[in-house]
A and B are shown apart, each in its own frame.
Chain A
Amino acid sequence: EAGVAQSPRYKIIEKRQSVAFWCNPISGHATLYWYQQILGQGPKLLIQFQNNGVVDDSQLPKDRFSAERLKGVDSTLKIQPAKLEDSAVYLCASSLDHGGTDTQYFGPGTRLTVL
């Protein structure tokens, strides 16, 4: 079974530039999560999708971050414009259903460096 795929693996941009990350969850997984993990900290949930609908985006900085999952399968996360403090690893995860305590499967992450 293929795991959660993410691309790119690494990205270096200058502040005020835009960047987009892509995630393809495990086939059949209804729930998709985007997390931000700053160095030395645990992941922080940015947004959670159930199929193509948003379940939780309370911690998404909506003035600069956006995410979509138009067809309920793969998803993109965009930052526009980027700030220095956005440097982090962006993790995508998926689970079978949002029935409470389903195991989340994580992708390898995208390491973003903002200069």
Chain B
Amino acid sequence: KNEVEQSPQNLTAQEGEFITINCSYSVGISALHWLQQHPGGGIVSLFMLSSGKKKHGRLIATINIQEKHSSLHITASHPRDSAVYICAAHKGAQKLVFGQGTRLTINP
């Protein structure tokens, strides 16, 4: 079992739908990242959070430390949101442990 698990692995939705991607981790962490990876492109950091909730535009990330769970939400989804979303946990002081990613496709 991976230390960081994401669900679903693949998600297809229609433009405008509310999207939720989940991340569960089994290790003690100091922070959790949500990253976005477009096909053929590099990885962009969306959020880093260690408690509560963060919002940036249409993206919202939440984390529940007690339940070892984080979610990434996208409101009013758009085809340009289509990408792979990766959850990564800071394990200990330095090491980043990645989930396997969630491939999101938003159809017009």
Chain A contact residues, CB within 8 Å of chain B: 3-4, 33, 40-45, 48, 55-56, 91, 93, 98, 100-101, 103-109
Contacts A100-B30, A101-B31; is A45 near B45 (CB within 8 Å)? no
Q: Please pick, from A40, A41, A45, A108, the residue contacting B95 in the complex, using a CB distance under 8 A.
A: A45
Q: How large is the interface on B (under 10, 10 to 19, 20 to 34, 35 or more residues)?
A: 20 to 34
CB distance from A25 to the nearest CB of B (A): 13
B99 touches A42 (CB 8 A): yes
Chief secondary structure at chain A's binding surface: loop
Contacts A41-B101, A101-B31, A104-B96; is A91 near B90 (CB within 8 Å)? no
A42 touches B101 (CB 8 A): yes
Chief secondary structure at chain B's binding surface: strand
CA distance A33 to B45 in the complex (A): 15
CB distance from A111 to the nearest CB of B (A): 8
Q: Please pick, from B42, B93, B94, B101, the residue contacting A108 in the complex, using a CB distance under 8 A.
A: B42
Closest Cβ neighbor of A101 among chain B residues = B31
Closest Cβ neighbor of B29 among chain A residues = A101
